[in-house]
Structure 1
Amino acid sequence: MFPQVHRIRALGLAALSALVLAAPLAAQQSPDTVPEPADAPRTGLVTREELMADRLRRIGVDNPDPAPTHPTSRADSLEWVRWRRAAATATGRRIVVSIYDRKLWLIDGRDTLLEAAAGVGMGIVRGRRGIGVRDFSTPRGRRTVLAKEADPMWNPPDWHYEGLHDGPLRPFPAAGIALEEGGRVVRRGRYLGIQNGAQFDTIPAERPLVYGGVMYIPPFGTVNRQIPGVLGKYKLDTGDGILIHGTNDPLAVGFWGTHGCVRLFDDDIEFVFENVPVGTPVYIY
């Protein structure tokens, strides 16, 4: 579909090797390993696909591949064809993402400037009372790069906190939290801290806000809501929480391992960041 490829990235084996070397020997295997026949003796090695399937099972997803590699219904097929055709017939500089292929292309006219492995959404729906339902799929359609940021901080949605605590989960109250031992947890600008008389002690950003058996969700705009490193070196914001960004989890690149965003290896997101201006269209099919 996109003829002249000027710069192609492979599956980021250098980035993956760091992850593999840090993993237990029983979990190591080249991403290009051919699956063993069913009657072959077990070697103790697993594929990247098996690692991803195991990760999903741990969060309660039984389907080993919830994000399919081809249309699964007539409606799905028509939507896929619609946006694939739109991506193929578009002109000018644009980003194209294939959910089924787990690939991203940066295209200028008829020239493909970059082809890269991409992590896409898990394709599952999760929810919890008080937090709402979230579809962890990468949505098809035409989007636009609305903003770019280097060294981005992740400001996680409310659903991020639901897996961190078994007890009740509540938004941080505007009036603060009264403590049994005295004092009150309050907000002062970008910081949360314990106010006791005239003294204000800030709460470290990484410390969970658990008081009286309840976990409170830090408010947006505070350092307690920001998590460094998760988005990698760069991010492109396409709106509605759908980002194109780097990652601290290279295993998920090229697989169905995200909450809806598109993840790239560091070198690839750097190339996209440097060569994509704000306003660039993004086609996802």
Structure 2
Amino acid sequence: MNNLAKLKQAFKSIRVKSLIDYIKYNKQIQLFGKISSVVIIIVCLFLFTILLQKILISIKFHEKVLAIDQQDELLKAQNGLEKELKALDKKLASKTPRSYYLVINSASNEFTLHKGTQTIKKDKCSTGSYILLKNGDQQQWMFKTPKGEFRIQGKTTSPVWKKPDWAFVEEGIPVPSANHFSRFEYGVLGDYALNLGQGYLIHGTLYQRFLGLPVTHGCIRLNDENLELIYNSLSVGSKVYIY
């Protein structure tokens, strides 16, 4: 009986010890699981950080490549524009007369006398008023200076103005016959006149205070000094550009 009690006691001790060992083992397993989870999280964070760095590096690389491509495109465009400008400069040089020529700006009522690429004189002039004159329902005249490229058709000293029909209509008096003496006026065009054709002249004016204003019937008016300079500079056939 005594031996049986000892055996039970021993068995009980073994069970208690086994239970304690189990509990300790279970705690170790749980602790290991927690440590493993933390390690896995750390590893995942580390891998994510590396991946994020690679993505950022890739983005920066592509940005640099894109910037380089844009710079290349800009350089190509710039080179193309420079070539076009050079071509236009050559074309302009080939079109520019080497002798004297005249440029009329009808918007600002200014002229520029050139010789080749050199500017000789720039000053005021007067061009068409753009006034519309009507003679009933049958006739009307628009007083504008024509635009385009012209050539000097002829040159005259002490020009005489043969008044056209509109001059009489404008004054409100009857229109005389074609060669009636009242059509001819002396001294109103200045000392010189240069013929552009189609009835348009470069001439002087009695009303120099109006120079710089659009007040003419289509001709180009200059003061006495500029008229003499242009008359002496331009020859028959010289170019006149009006814009």
Partner Cα separation in structure 2 for residue 254 and residue 261 of structure 1: 13
Q: Secondary structure at the match of 1:101?
A: coil
Using the TM superposition, give the Cα deviation of residue 129 of structure 1 relative to its aligned residue in structure 2, in angstroms. 3.1
Counterpart selection for 1:137 from 139, 144, 168: 144
Q: Is the 8 A contact 1:87 1:283 kept in 2?
A: no
The Cα offsets for residues 147-171 of structure 1, whole Å up to 9 and x where unpaired, read as 11111111111000013336xxxxx
Q: Is the 8 A contact 1:131 1:158 kept in 2?
A: no
Using the TM superposition, give the Cα deviation of residue 138 of structure 1 relative to its aligned residue in structure 2, in angstroms. 0.9
RMSD: 2.3
Q: Secondary structure at the match of 2:111?
A: strand
TM-score by length of 2: 0.58
Of structures 1 and 2, the larger Rg is shown by 2
Counterpart selection for 2:178 from 219, 239, 245: 219
Counterpart selection for 1:119 from 122, 126, 134: 126
The Cα offsets for residues 80-102 of structure 1, whole Å up to 9 and x where unpaired, read as xxxxx989953222111001121
Alignment correspondent of 2:188: 230
Partner Cα separation in structure 2 for residue 251 and residue 117 of structure 1: 11
Alignment correspondent of 1:90: 96
Amino acid at match of 2:194: L
Alignment correspondent of 2:109: 102
TM-score by length of 1: 0.50
Using the TM superposition, give the Cα deviation of residue 225 of structure 1 relative to its aligned residue in structure 2, in angstroms. 1.6
Q: Is the 8 A contact 1:136 1:258 kept in 2?
A: yes
Using the TM superposition, give the Cα deviation of residue 269 of structure 1 relative to its aligned residue in structure 2, in angstroms. 0.2
Do structure 1's residue 249 and structure 2's residue 171 form an aligned pair? no
Amino acid at match of 1:90: T
Q: Is the 8 A contact 1:230 1:248 kept in 2?
A: yes
Q: How many residues align?
A: 152
Q: Secondary structure at the match of 2:235?
A: coil
Partner Cα separation in structure 1 for residue 94 and residue 187 of structure 2: 34
Partner Cα separation in structure 2 for residue 161 and residue 224 of structure 1: 10
Using the TM superposition, give the Cα deviation of residue 242 of structure 1 relative to its aligned residue in structure 2, in angstroms. 1.2
Partner Cα separation in structure 2 for residue 87 and residue 281 of structure 1: 15
Greater share of helix: 2
Alignment correspondent of 1:164: 171
Partner Cα separation in structure 1 for residue 194 and residue 137 of structure 2: 29
Segments of 4+ moved more than 4 angstroms: 85-89
Partner Cα separation in structure 1 for residue 187 and residue 156 of structure 2: 13
Counterpart selection for 1:279 from 217, 223, 237: 237
The change in CA–CA distance for 1:230 and 1:87 in structure 2 (over 3 A counts) is: farther
Counterpart selection for 1:263 from 194, 214, 221: 221
- Name the % identity: 30
Gaps of 5+ in 1: 1-84, 167-214
Greater share of strand: 1
Q: Is the 8 A contact 1:86 1:283 kept in 2?
A: no
Q: Is the 8 A contact 1:120 1:137 kept in 2?
A: yes
The Cα offsets for residues 182-220 of structure 1, whole Å up to 9 and x where unpaired, read as xxxxxxxxxxxxxxxxxxxxxxxxxxxxxxxxx341423
Using the TM superposition, give the Cα deviation of residue 275 of structure 1 relative to its aligned residue in structure 2, in angstroms. 1.2
Counterparts in 2 of 1:176-215, with a 5 A limit?
A: 215=174
The change in CA–CA distance for 1:273 and 1:131 in structure 2 (over 3 A counts) is: farther
Partner Cα separation in structure 1 for residue 135 and residue 203 of structure 2: 27
Gaps of 5+ in 2: 1-90
Q: Secondary structure at the match of 1:237?
A: strand
The structure with higher relative contact order (CA 8 Å, sep 6+) is 1
